[in-house]
Amino acid sequence: MYQADLGRWFNIAPMSELYFAHSNYVYALNTPTNAVDPDGRLVIFINGQHTGDGSKGYLNAKSGENWKGSSDYWRTGKNSGFDIDVMYHLNDHNAIYRDGSVGGFANTSLYGNLPIFKSNLRRKTRIDAGYKRGMIDAEQIIASVSDSDGNIVESIKIISHSMGGAYAKGYAKAILEYAKKHNIKGLIIAFSADFAPFQSGDLTAVTGQNMGPTLQFSHSDDDVAGNKPIDGAEQMDTSDDENQGHSIFDFMDQVKKLPTGNYKVVNGKIVPINDKKKEYEN
């Protein structure tokens, strides 16, 4: 937040703890002609089951075209859609999209997502697919959140829906493992938010020093995914949603509960993280 008439910044840089040699209030390490840092975050959207092109993103409505995913028509237009609402809430429009259903209905039988397959196989298939894709994407993601000197300057948020919940677990694990293996310091997944996660009772939240909380948003009347708790996740109160179904549109009012900046959510309340390392270790 910049006060132009005074020529002063009134907020510290969100990742300033990684740059002890610089003031907390400088912009782009005092190199504004060579660097741009509009928001300091990256959002990863992972869709659930779909009938369209999953690579475009089940949560993606930013292209403004009519596109059908699962049983829902997503709102269209550049300023509408679940993902758009999330990005405006987080003040971050830097996003990538991944297919968490591993091919959608067209290829679902090939990847073991049909009910005839054992539950653990279907879940493991998506976790493994997310891990494999995360390992492929890790180098690109790390580059996108780093400055020209290789310093991490952005945090990562992961948003998933339905079948994407399992995929997201493998994806997050891969990114963190890649960073550790290559001795990359400061990479942080601020949080992972799972909306109507499928097979939630069989999932376990990813934990670690650089992994923030996993936030679970489930509905009591969801006859597709149910509302069993993810092991290790923070259960968000969604009782105020009028529709308690599976559609991502039933969760539109929950977007405001996603934490912004250096925060985590505890019992539905946004709490500042004063000691990030300590909080994530816990």
What is residue 107's predicted lDDT score, i.e. its pLDDT? 60
Same domain for 89 and 101? Answer: yes
Same domain for 30 and 47? Answer: no
**Rounded to an integer, what is the distance from CA 34 to the centroid of its chain?**
29
SS3 (DSSP) at 245: coil
Same domain for 15 and 118? Answer: no
CB 159 within 8 A of CB 43: yes
CB 41 within 8 A of CB 155: yes
Picking from 13-17, 52-56, 150-154, 179-183, which range would have the lowest pLDDT averaged per residue? 52-56
Total domains in the fold of the chain: 2
Which residues lie closer than 8 Å to 9 by C-beta, 6 or more apart? 1, 2, 3, 25, 26, 27
Percent of the chain with pLDDT over 90: 34
**Structural domain of 106:** 39-281
Same domain for 73 and 33? Answer: no
Same domain for 221 and 184? Answer: yes
Same domain for 56 and 159? Answer: yes
Output the domain CATH number for residue 242. Answer: 3.40.50
Same domain for 29 and 134? Answer: no
Q: How confident is the model at residue 41 (pLDDT cuts 50, 70, 90)?
A: low
Average pLDDT, the chain: 75
143-196 tens-digit pLDDT: 888 877 788 877 899 999 998 999 999 999 999 999 999 999 888 898 999 999
88 C-beta neighbours (distance < 10 Å), count: 12
Q: How far apart are alpha carbons 23 and 68 in whole angstroms?
A: 48
Same domain for 84 and 30? Answer: no
Same domain for 107 and 48? Answer: yes
* 256 vs 39, higher pLDDT: 256
Please compute the mean of the pLDDT values over residues 94-101 and round it to a whole number.
84
What is residue 13's predicted lDDT score, i.e. its pLDDT? 64
186-224 tens-digit pLDDT: 888 989 999 999 999 999 999 998 899 999 999 999 999
Same domain for 71 and 12? Answer: no
Same domain for 194 and 172? Answer: yes
Same domain for 16 and 99? Answer: no
Q: How confident is the model at residue 118 (pLDDT cuts 50, 70, 90)?
A: very low
SS3 per-residue string spanning 121-143 = HHHHHHHHHHHHHHHHHHHHHHH
